[in-house]
Amino acid sequence: MTVTQRLYEAAKPIWQACHDHPFVRGIGDGTLDREKFQYFLLQDYLYLFDYAKVFAWGVVKAADPDLMRFFSANVDAILGGEMKTHRAYMARLGITEEQVFQVKPALANLSYTSYMLSAAASGGPAEIVASILACSWSYAEIGARLAQMPGAADHPFYGEWVRGYAGEEYQQTNNALVERMDALAAGCTQEQYRRLEDTFVNCSRYELGFWDMAWRLEA
């Protein structure tokens, strides 16, 4: 098994709970309350700025130009790519970016991003990608699964979200992260792998907690 296959198997039960979560299912069948989606959208928008900073740590810690360019390209993909979906929804909901920054991150949001930034600050490129990958990969899988549900990708409100994460651009970006994780972890010791697995599984747990946070509209 590759390193990423081992990571995937370690987090599989947690990811299944994400797929079964009423928030995720509500996006797929179009029944999710829009107040909950708006809350999630704003919290996720704030989250993505810190998520981009985790990639930026990779630029700082990379030992070669190719790896620097890889991390830098991902910062751009978040700030200039993934966030376009959020901004499109914000425009539909009449919310400006200035208004988003008046929203306080929920405690679960702060805890998650603090954990990732701590892992990035204390680790190297492999630990940085491990902390990032749970979010990217789980969303790629959620988007792909939801897109297979009849009518999900064409829903007048939630379809844009589904198409964004099921789309080729996002899937390719995530696949590159998976490949990079395997490359960075090639030849790692069992002890080194355990650190990567702990980070990946913990971030997967935070992902599940993020869906819970949005479902419950936590402060």
SS3 30: coil
Q: How far apart are CA 30 and CA 151, in angstroms?
A: 9
CA distance 201 to 199: 6
- Whether 179 is catalytic: no
With 0-12 / 13-18 / 19 or more C-beta atoms within 10 angstroms meaning exposed / middle / buried, residue 183 is middle
Q: How far is CA 79 from CA 12, 49, 213, in A?
A: 29, 8, 23
The closest alpha carbon to 52, from 164, 128, 139, belongs to 128
78, 44 Cβ separation under 8 angstroms: no
Cα-trace Rg, the chain: 17
> Read out DSSP for 168-213?
HHHHHHHHHHHHHHHHHHTT--HHHHHHHHHHHHHHHHHHHHHHHH
Q: Residue type at 188?
A: C
Annotation says 197 is catalytic: no
Determine which one of 18, 135, 141, 203 is catalytic.
135
Q: Residues with catalytic annotation? A: 135, 207
